[in-house]
Amino acid sequence: MAMYGADALEVLKELSTATRLPVYRAKSVSKAVDEVIHLHAEVLAILRERPEAARNDASVTASVIFHHAALLRNKRIMLAYHYHRMQYLQNLRWEVGAILPPDVREATSALETGFFSAYDRLLGDYMTEVDLNLTEDLTPPKDLFIEVRVVQDAGTIITEAGDELTLTRNSTHYLRRSDVEHLIRQGVVEHIVH
């Protein structure tokens, strides 16, 4: 029999070595939850049936400790797994904005997608309230205007000044940094430095 928590640890390892968000392992997660329920039942059964032995007979105490420690370990691995994935999604909101890139969307569970939109709403509400776009100028700006080249056709945008601007591939523009910063981070246009 495989050791308790082995499966859970596998998905955590996969997450820690991956360079992009791996697919959510729903099967391993539900297996870990089943294990926890089973381990919990074992502990309760021993305590109910042999309360005296659990305290005085070291061999029975060992069994209680074993099941309890395995339960806690499973819980810790699962919490860490979800915690790190949530951190990744939070960062993404700051990096690329309110829309999840398609490959990330495929890798997330329904709950995680829900978390992302809830986080997006929370951040959005806060930024409306303080009337400031916090995701702008993640690095302190040096120039108000920057030159950019369009990498992929991106339709028409409206600048802060209210002008319409069509972004066609390979055209270059001299624009207010705040107008294009999010487009640079999304990789639609690239910043040209001379």
Partner 1 sequence: MAYYDIDAILLDDQIVPAHFNTAAMDLGVLDPSTPSPHIDQGTETDIPLWLALSLAKRSIVTLRSPSFFGESFQAHLLADAQVLNIHDKCPFFYELGVKLAKLTGNWALPAVLKKAFHTRYLRIVDTSINLGAADYSEHIRKLTTAERNLFHLGHAAAAEVLRYKTRDTDRLAASAVVTRKRRRAALGKK
CB 168 within 8 A of CB 153: yes
Q: Which residues bind partner 1 (CB under 8 A)?
A: 1, 3, 9, 12-13, 15-16, 19-20, 42, 58-63, 65-70, 73, 76-77, 79-80, 83-84, 92, 95-96, 101, 103-104, 139, 142, 146, 181, 184-187, 190-191, 193
Of the two residues 42 and 113, which places its CB atom closer to partner 1 in the complex?
42
Of the two residues 48 and 142, which places its CB atom closer to partner 1 in the complex?
142
Q: Which two tokens stand for residue 182?
A: 């999010």
Strand 145-150 and strand 172-176: the pairing is: antiparallel
Half-sphere exposure of 120 (CA within 13 A, CB side): 15
| Distance, CA of 155 to CA of 182 (rounded, Å) | 15
- How far apart are CB 58 and partner 1 at their closest, in Å? 4
Alpha helix (H) ranges present in the chain? Answer: 6-17, 26-49, 51-56, 58-96, 102-107, 110-130, 177-186
∠ CA(185), CA(188), CA(192), 5° rounding? 75
Of the two residues 103 and 131, which places its CB atom closer to partner 1 in the complex?
103
Of the two residues 69 and 132, which places its CB atom closer to partner 1 in the complex?
69
- How far apart are CB 129 and partner 1 at their closest, in Å? 26
- How far apart are CB 66 and partner 1 at their closest, in Å? 5
- How far apart are CB 87 and partner 1 at their closest, in Å? 9
- How far apart are CB 18 and partner 1 at their closest, in Å? 11
3-state SS, residue 109: coil
Q: Which two tokens stand for residue 30?
A: 């539900």
Of the two residues 128 and 133, which places its CB atom closer to partner 1 in the complex?
133
